[in-house]
């Protein structure tokens, strides 16, 4: 049941607008592989937190791994909500990309102006474009 729902994230994208399909597949593929491979106890893996090298046990004990795991599960659940045409998937996808743009453009005035314009364009696309409205208005059976 869980595997079928997980695979549905990749298979049930029919009718999704192209740009939204691209970002959906980018997120779902990236975070699926991260969740699959990042948390295996690699024997010689080292992790770095604030310039300190950590082994696998310390990686979990610092709280870095649980937070990263929760974030990955959150992104996968946003992808699942998007495929099921739930309004939280639309809002979650917007907030995810808007927060990335805001974080990258925070450190200069020109960056803030350009980032604000990009976030406004993304908001218009996600919430006001005809194709997105049509995709989320369809009933998923």
Phi/psi class of residue 140: alpha, beta or left (left: φ > 0; alpha: ψ in -120 to 50)?
A: beta
Q: Which two tokens stand for residue 100?
A: 């990335």
**Single pTM value for the model:** 0.79
Give the separation between CA 57 and CA 86, rounded to whole angstroms: 38
HSE of 31, CA atoms in CB hemisphere, 13 A: 23
- What pLDDT is stored for residue 35 in this prediction? 82
| Beta-carbon contacts of residue 88 (< 8 Å; ≥ 6 apart) | 78, 81
Provide block-wise average pLDDT over 10 residues at a time, the chain (141 residues).
68 84 90 82 75 83 86 90 90 94 91 94 94 82 45
What is the C-alpha separation between 8 and 38, in angstroms, rounded? 22
Q: Where are the beta strands (DSSP E) in the chain?
A: 47-49, 52-54
């Amino acid at each position: 049941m869980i595997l079928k729902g997980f695979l549905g994230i990749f298979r049930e994208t029919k009718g999704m607008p192209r740009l939204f399909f691209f970002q959906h597949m980018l997120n779902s593929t990236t975070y699926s592989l991260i969740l699959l491979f990042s948390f295996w106890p690699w024997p010689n893996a080292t992790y770095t937190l604030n310039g300190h090298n950590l082994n696998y046990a310390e990686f979990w004990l610092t709280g870095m791994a649980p937070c990263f795991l929760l974030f990955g599960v959150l992104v996968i659940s946003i992808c699942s909500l998007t495929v099921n045409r739930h309004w939280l998937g639309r809002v979650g996808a917007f907030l995810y990309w808007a927060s990335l743009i805001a974080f990258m453009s925070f450190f200069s005035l020109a960056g803030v102006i350009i980032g604000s314009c990009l976030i406004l364009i993304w908001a218009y696309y996600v919430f006001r474009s005809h194709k997105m409205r049509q995709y989320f208005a369809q009933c998923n059976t």
